[in-house]
Chains A and B, each alone.
Chain A
Amino acid sequence: MSKDQLGEFEELILTIVGVLDNAAYGNSIVKEIKTLLDRDVNLSAVHITLYRLEDKGHVKSEMRGATSSRGGRRKRYFKITSSGLNLLYALQEQRRRLWKLLPDLNFGSSNG
């Protein structure tokens, strides 16, 4: 079920689109990742991933909000869809289940 599988980068972008809620477009996503995770991501890579997520139906987009710094071009704002949100929940649930199976390792700490 490739539709329910996400790569690490795809998941990151999808999450950030959810986080930014209504303000997610290429540049804002790059900035958000930088501020939240201190990670440099390539703008073009973000674009390619966004369009792929759109094709899979996890995000939807609309055009609005032109500014002069963009030469009057509108932005394509992305919004997470319910299927995208469900997928994130599902992934979260999966991870939680796996997490539970992890033995209580404490690597030498006395009160685990």
Chain B
Amino acid sequence: MDNDGKHIRPPVWAVNFLTWFCSDRLIEATLGDLLEQFDEDVKTKSIRRAKLRFIWHVIRLFHPSIITNRRKVTKFRTMGLYKSHITVAFRSMKKYKFYATVNILGLALAISFVFLSYLFIQNELSFDQFHSKKDRTYRLYGYAMDPDSRAIIDGDHNGCTPIPLAEDLAEHIPNLEYYTRLGSVGGTVLKNNIPYDEVIAMADSGFFEMFDFPIVHGGKNALGAPASIVLSEQKAAKYFEMLNPVGQSLELILGDSAVTFLVAAVVDNKKNNSSLPFDFLIPFERMKMVTSYETYNSYDVSFTETWVTFDEPQSLDVSDMLSKVIGDKMDVHSGKGMVGIQPLTDVHYDSQIQGMYPAANPKKAWILGGLSVIVLIIALMNFVTLSIGHSLHRVKEIGLRKIFGGGRSSLKAQLMLESLMISIISSVISLALTFYFLPAFNSLIEGALDHAILVSHLGFMVLLIFLISAVTGMIQAFVLVSFKPISVLKGPVLFTKKGSLATQGVVVFQFTMAVLLVIGTLVIHQQMNFIQSKDLGFDQNRLIEITLHTSERPELAKRSIQRYKTLIAENPIILSAGASMNGFREPWTQLSFKQDDESLRDYFFNQVDEDYLKTMNMGIVLGEAFNTAGSILPTNIIVNESLVKKMGWENPLDEQIPGQGFSRPHRIIGVVKDFHYGSLHEEIKPLILATDPVAIQSGIFGISTYVWPPNLYTMVIRLGPGDLIDAVDYLEHSWEKTHPHKPFTFNFVDEMLASKYADEVRWRKVTNIASAFAIIVAWLGLLGLSRLSVQRRVKEIGIRKVLGSSVFGITQKLSTHYLMLVGIASMLAWPIGWWMANHWLDSFTYRINISATVFGLSSLAVLLITICSVGFQGYKAALANPIDVLRTE
């Protein structure tokens, strides 16, 4: 007692802590002793010291012998209890099928989803990890540095580097162990006189020293001989069936010449796990067959990648060392050309540096991971709230167990065991679901996860099960067991003030997530529709693009194109056909011209023939197209509106493209209406069209391109009304007449353009499915919760009915509360959803504005789901005969 006569108590938390960890057998006497000591300390010492001593005592007691102290005999007793717990758990599941089903199904769905996402992320993270020299292998990239301030100029990190770079570096840098250049060109494989279009990759002999692609047949020094070729397993199967093709010959047409190669090796190209995709690999020197001598030795052209392996890992800041070797040979655009190194393991995810193949978006893995965490949280919340709510039925059992002497630890053990059982059953079901869904999931993410991966990652599943049962079991155990038997017997625990607040919190959280996911789904859907229906500046419908397999000699190429055009023009369904250098598969050629102030300016370029603009239905805003004899002069060019706007020209027809190196004037004869030749993620950039590259060739200072040298490589063909299949058959038939040894490759332009957004379309599907998963799981939880709250009020409903309430009135009464929760959740979800959607849309230059209907619709959807579950439960309860529920009292 202190001076005020008020009883001094030790810190509550310390007492709680002791009660929590101390074994049941010891707690009474131990705590008693501590309290006695405390009382005495209060009398003899200061209150502060007494409290400190108490805390110190508690901490000292946190000792294994106190925590786990139990009599040896009890072990036998609990052994028997476990068996009984399992029996009871099964009985309870059987008796309350509804809850068991909701719990198990929800959890199983969530686990499958988490497991699938885990597999996907695992696969993404394992990209390029199988190379043993991965920590000292790098890709070189070019970038520009301001020569004066030495500041790095943004936006010009190019994963492609000039061809001579690798050899120059290898000559001057002693600790450079291996190097390889990597290029790829379109080629034709001739097998039994049938031509096939293929992409042929080229690499130096260091390739197989640097990269550990598993070799199926043949040896490591496969690229030694100039006529050797390495095939991927898939292509080996395509051209040689199941036989070992090593030593067999394969005829390839590159450029204008046919070469016979000997198969030196077959390798597993790890297609889904490698940033270096290839199907055919030939020695890099073969690049000379398709490029000019100047290009092959030029520091101004970059269309191949350079990879190096050092004898030890390098710091990333080696540009000075590299730049010393290349001196001033490289001039990346306006600044001083610099070369940096990028670790192999970064290539897959770094979209800053674009090489020959696009980098993956790391956001994908994050989005999927985030979604699966949301789904899991929702399922766990359901599990816990439902189990606690379900204690409505179980509290009496627990209370009785307590009265008959069931200790806290044994009750805890029972509840943990039940959680564990439910998680294990769910996991078994989810394993089956995962197994079943894997192929569909694969086609969705374009992955190649197989069932073997599933088995090898079962450990993760086991971990997940224990995590889930530990978390849920623990929460349940603490909530349920901490109640005193007497209050447990008196009434349900979930509907105490604290309990119902927590339940409402859970419901609001789930609704918020659901509304958010629906907003996301709708916004993605609208944006994709917007993009697909956007006016591109030309007519993409009934337009076919074919690959021309052009001769290197322009005059030959022109003649064969003309022959084909004349032939197909005989069919009335073909309205017109025009050839061009760049098609719609790859980005267009980008040129730079040196300005008077030594800076460089970029323009996109396409060489077209006289029918191209007409075939594409492109509009001419000013001047004329290439359609009269006078307009088709080698020096005539057409520019687009963006170029005129950027230059700020008043009379574009009187202007010249500025540049130092132009040896002769060109004439701008027309301005074409802006059209989208790149991705809709970007705005339309300045473009020059010409019938002959001569018009601007002398001024070119730098090129970055997929297609070079200038020539007519593709043809677009406009079809009139009529049967598409007949038209394509006719085109193919004519092709075989004019180009007997070249494959006929065609694509519909609208499909090609759509494939540029394949990634977005795929992620639309993934988010759709994830949202569906989350919403189903949340809905299951809601169903359970609403049933609980209705059951709690059956008597009230009965009395209301007796007093004259209508069924509708009662249903309304029971649902209003949940509708309010939807309202709160919407208020929370709208701003978050708005922010997230805007963030995503900002990655598009041409984007929709988020309309209010999106928010309205999303809340409406969740509202409907709520009414379906809550309203249904309420309606059912309201229909019940009051006598049935009231007579028991």
Query: What are 28 of the A-B contact pairs (CB < 8 Å)?
Result: A25-B29, A25-B33, A26-B29, A26-B30, A26-B33, A27-B36, A27-B37, A44-B61, A47-B26, A47-B30, A47-B61, A48-B60, A48-B65, A51-B26, A51-B66, A55-B69, A63-B28, A70-B33, A70-B35, A71-B32, A73-B31, A73-B32, A74-B28, A74-B32, A75-B29, A75-B32, A76-B29, A76-B30
- Interface status of B753 (Cβ within 8 A of chain A): no
Find the B residue at minimum CB distance from A77: B29
- In the bound complex, CA of A52 to CA of B29 (Å): 15
Complex interface: chain B residues within 8 A of A69 (CB)? 35-36, 39
Render B143-158 as a binary contact track against A, CB cut-off 8 A, 1 for contact. 0000000000000000
- In the bound complex, CA of A67 to CA of B35 (Å): 11
- Interface status of A111 (Cβ within 8 A of chain B): no
Query: Number of A interface residues, CB 8 Å?
Result: 24
CB–CB A47/B32 < 8 A: no
- In the bound complex, CA of A47 to CA of B31 (Å): 11
Query: Which residues of A from 34 to 61 have beta carbons under 8 Å from B?
Result: 42-45, 47-48, 51-52, 55, 61
Render B404-440 as a binary contact track against A, CB cut-off 8 A, 1 for contact. 0000000000000000000000000000000000000
- Interface status of B34 (Cβ within 8 A of chain A): yes
Complex interface: chain A residues within 8 A of B847 (CB)? none
Render A72-86 as a binary contact track against B, CB cut-off 8 A, 1 for contact. 011110000000000
Complex interface: chain B residues within 8 A of A71 (CB)? 31-32, 35
- Interface status of B63 (Cβ within 8 A of chain A): yes
Complex interface: chain A residues within 8 A of B40 (CB)? 27
CB–CB A51/B60 < 8 A: no
- Interface status of B401 (Cβ within 8 A of chain A): no
Find the B residue at minimum CB distance from A70: B32
Q: Shortest CB–CB separation between residue A18 and chain B, in angstroms?
A: 19
CB–CB A48/B36 < 8 A: no
Interface residues of B, dominant DSSP: helix
Complex interface: chain B residues within 8 A of A66 (CB)? 32
Candidates B32, B57, B65, B66; contact of A42 at CB < 8 Å = B57
Find the B residue at minimum CB distance from A69: B39
* Given A51-B65, A51-B69: A43 and B32 interface contact (C-beta under 8 Å): no
Find the A residue at minimum CB distance from B27: A73
Interchain residue pairs A-B with the least CB separation, the first 6? A76-B29, A73-B32, A44-B60, A26-B33, A70-B32, A44-B57
Interface residues of A, dominant DSSP: helix
Complex interface: chain A residues within 8 A of B61 (CB)? 44, 47-48
Complex interface: chain B residues within 8 A of A73 (CB)? 28-29, 31-32, 35
Find the B residue at minimum CB distance from A76: B29
Q: Shortest CB–CB separation between residue A17 and chain B, in angstroms?
A: 14
Render B7-51 as a binary contact track against A, CB cut-off 8 A, 1 for contact. 000000000000000000010111111111101100000000000
Known: A43-B33, A43-B34. 6 other contacts (CB 8 A): A26-B36, A27-B40, A63-B28, A66-B32, A71-B32, A74-B32
Q: Shortest CB–CB separation between residue B484 and chain A, in angstroms?
A: 15
Candidates B28, B33, B36, B39; contact of A47 at CB < 8 Å = B33
Render B101-112 as a binary contact track against A, CB cut-off 8 A, 1 for contact. 000000000000
Complex interface: chain B residues within 8 A of A61 (CB)? 29
Find the A residue at minimum CB distance from B26: A51
- In the bound complex, CA of A95 to CA of B39 (Å): 40
Q: Shortest CB–CB separation between residue B45 and chain A, in angstroms?
A: 13
- In the bound complex, CA of A47 to CA of B60 (Å): 10
Q: Shortest CB–CB separation between residue B38 and chain A, in angstroms?
A: 9
Complex interface: chain A residues within 8 A of B57 (CB)? 42-44
Complex interface: chain B residues within 8 A of A26 (CB)? 29-30, 33, 36-37
Q: Shortest CB–CB separation between residue B42 and chain A, in angstroms?
A: 10
- In the bound complex, CA of A51 to CA of B36 (Å): 19
- In the bound complex, CA of A74 to CA of B37 (Å): 14
Complex interface: chain B residues within 8 A of A25 (CB)? 29, 33
